[in-house]
C-alpha cells in the first residue's frame, strides 16, 4: 500500500467525517479499514455511508467510498476504475466446478478498484491484490462513485452481450450467462 499516496483526512464531507468518527485519520488507514471489512452486498447501493453502519461492502461500494474520500479531500489523481476481466479457475478457484459444468474457460466479470500513477490497488477483502485480475483485463474505464450501481450493471451486461455475440462457440443466452455469473459470485462468497 505504500505506493499509493497517503494524506491526512480533514473533516471536509460526509465520508471524510465518517472515517474520522471511526478513528481513522489517514488515507492508508482508511484503505486498511475498508480492506478488513467483510465482503458482502450492502442493502442500499446508493448510500455510501452504509459501509460504516453495515460494516461490510463489495468491490464497488468499498472502492467508491475510498474514491469519495479522495474527492472530498481534493485528491484527484487516485482514480476509481471499473474493469472487465476474465474470471477463471486460476484467478478465482472456487468457480472451477461451475465453469466446468457449463464448459466455459472463463466468464467476463466486472470489478471495481483504484488506480494511482498506473498502479492498481484492490481493497476488496483481506489478501486481495491486483494480481487476481490485472493480467486478465479485457476492458477498463474510469468511473465516478455514483456509477457503481446501475451504470456498472449496464456496462457489464452490454459487454457480456457483445462477448456472447463474438463467441459463437458459447451456446448460451444472455439470461443463462448472467445466471452462471451469479452462481460464480455465490461460489466466491462461500
pTM of the model: 0.93
Q: Where are the domains of the chain?
A: 14-72, 78-189
- Range from 121-125, 128-132, 178-182 carrying the lowest mean pLDDT: 128-132
Mean pLDDT of the chain: 94
Q: What is the share, in percent, of the chain residues with pLDDT greater than 70?
A: 99
* CA end-to-end distance (rounded Å), the chain: 27
CA triplet 142, 146, 151: central angle to 5 degrees? Answer: 70
Tell me, rounded to whole angstroms, the distance of Cα 37 from its chain centroid. Answer: 14
Q: Has residue 40 got a pLDDT over 80?
A: yes
Instruction: Write the pLDDT tens digit of every residue in 83-105.
Output: 999 999 999 999 999 999 999 99
Instruction: Write the pLDDT tens digit of every residue in 104-126.
Output: 999 999 999 999 999 999 999 89
Cα torsion for 19, 21, 24, 26, to the nearest 10°? 60
Distance CA 155, CA 27 (A): 29
Amino acid at each position: 500500500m505504500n505506493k499509493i499516496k497517503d494524506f491526512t483526512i480533514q473533516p471536509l464531507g460526509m465520508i471524510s467525517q465518517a472515517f474520522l468518527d471511526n478513528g481513522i485519520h489517514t488515507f492508508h488507514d482508511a484503505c486498511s479499514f475498508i480492506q478488513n471489512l467483510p465482503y458482502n452486498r450492502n442493502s442500499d447501493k446508493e448510500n455510501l455511508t452504509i459501509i460504516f453502519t453495515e460494516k461490510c461492502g463489495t468491490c464497488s461500494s468499498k472502492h467508491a467510498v475510498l474514491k469519495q474520500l479522495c474527492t472530498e479531500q481534493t485528491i484527484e489523481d487516485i482514480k476509481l476504475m471499473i474493469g472487465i476481466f476474465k474470471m477463471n479457475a486460476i484467478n478465482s478457484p472456487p468457480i472451477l466446478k461451475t465453469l466446468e459444468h457449463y464448459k466455459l474457460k472463463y466468464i467476463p466479470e466486472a470489478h471495481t478498484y483504484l488506480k494511482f500513477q498506473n498502479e492498481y490497488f484492490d481493497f476488496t477483502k483481506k489478501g486481495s491484490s491486483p494480481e487476481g485480475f490485472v493480467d486478465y483485463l479485457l476492458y477498463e474505464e474510469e468511473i465516478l462513485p455514483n456509477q457503481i450501481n446501475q451504470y456498472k450493471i449496464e456496462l457489464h451486461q452490454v459487454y457480456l452481450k457483445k462477448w456472447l455475440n463474438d463467441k459463437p462457440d458459447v451456446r448460451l443466452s444472455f439470461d443463462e450467462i448472467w445466471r452462471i455469473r451469479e452462481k460464480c459470485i455465490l461460489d466466491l462468497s462461500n
